[in-house]
Amino acid sequence: MSFLLGKERKNKLYNKILSEQDVFNCSENLDQHAYEYNPEIVIATEEWYKISAFSSKKYCLDILKCKFSSAEYDKLKQIDTNNLEQILFVDEDMFYFQKITPSKYIAHQKILKINQKGCFSVEDLQDIVYIDCYPHAIYNKTNDTLYFKSISKITNIFPGVIELYKEATTEETEHFLRSEFINIVEDYNSKDVKTENRKRIALAIKTLNELKKNDRKKIFEYIKSYCPELKCSDNKFDVGNEKELRLLLWGIDERYFTKPVTGDTCVANSTITLHKKNK
């Protein structure tokens, strides 16, 4: 049996809206087109991110940790549409989430309707909530996996999940810019580092901490070979603006490559690991 629940902004409680009506139906094998969430991966339209063992995460909702029972939820008799924050469609062990933003409300609008016989009619729409074809998140209780397409669209649904795509703090950014392999020029400082580079710094810190000393040397030689415009002396890279910092961070993430046939030098805006090297 399936149920549609609504969550209100004021009391933050789920209540039943209706039952036995299909709202979402993602019948495809999600795992076939899903990648474990990594901010370095840019997915295609038909692909999904996933978080495995989701019930063990601190940002997993209580409603997903327990056996779902519709009897525990009151019927939502009346609601101010501006107070509807989220809808949740439950179908057996599948949970479909969509957050509701002001753009989803239609207070009053006229539409031109065409029926199967090709006849036209004008109809009024009032107090309508628009539902997307695809939900913002899908939780499969059977394999304990959450699927989603954009982490920014699920941060309000799962508070705390944004930590998976965190920016480096001011302190972490300052510490990184003081690294022994960086020479700051032209008074460049942490205040000049924008959001995207802060996110790259957070990833770079993790990468460097996992590298052995010899591997760190290889990374820096690799950067020199692909970025001759990034000045380097005494094993220190000059960083005086956002572009130079971005070139360095791309190198630490090993984004540069050469096409084997044309010999073109390129940078990847997304990387997916096909095979892990045995260490």
Question: Would you give per-residue pLDDT tens digits along the chain (279 residues)?
Answer: 889 998 988 888 898 988 888 888 776 788 888 999 988 888 998 899 999 999 999 999 999 999 999 889 888 777 666 778 899 999 999 999 999 887 777 767 787 888 888 888 888 877 778 788 889 999 999 999 999 999 999 999 999 998 888 889 999 999 999 999 999 998 999 999 999 999 999 999 999 999 999 999 999 999 999 999 999 988 899 999 999 999 999 999 999 999 999 999 999 988 888 877 765
Report d(CA 44, CA 181) in Å as an integer: 36
25: closest CA among 112, 110, 131? 131
Q: Is the dihedral of CA 228, 230, 234, 236 positive or negative?
A: negative
* Amino acid identity, position 230: L
pLDDT on residue 132: 83
Strand, coil or helix: what is 47? Answer: coil
Indicate the domain borders of the chain: 2-101+132-161, 170-267
Burial category of 52 from C-beta neighbours within 10 Å (exposed 0-12, middle 13-18, buried 19 and up): middle
17: closest CA among 9, 8, 29? 8
Token digits for 246?
Answer: 């971005």
* Amino acid identity, position 148: F
Q: What angle do CA 266, 268, 271 make, to 5 degrees?
A: 145
Report d(CA 259, CA 3) in Å as an integer: 52
Report d(CA 167, CA 138) in Å as an integer: 26
Q: Are 83 and 127 in contact (CB under 8 A)?
A: no
Report d(CA 50, CA 20) in Å as an integer: 28
pLDDT on residue 27: 60
Residue with token string 């990847």: 268
Q: Which residues contact 69 (CB under 8 A, 6 or more apart)?
A: none
Long-range contacts of 262-271 (CB under 8 A, 24+ apart): 265/226, 269/42, 270/40, 270/41, 270/42, 271/40, 271/41
Q: Which residues contact 131 (CB under 8 A, 6 or more apart)?
A: 23, 87, 98, 104
| DSSP code at position 276 | P
130: closest CA among 154, 147, 113, 109? 109
Report d(CA 29, CA 138) in Å as an integer: 12
* Amino acid identity, position 79: I
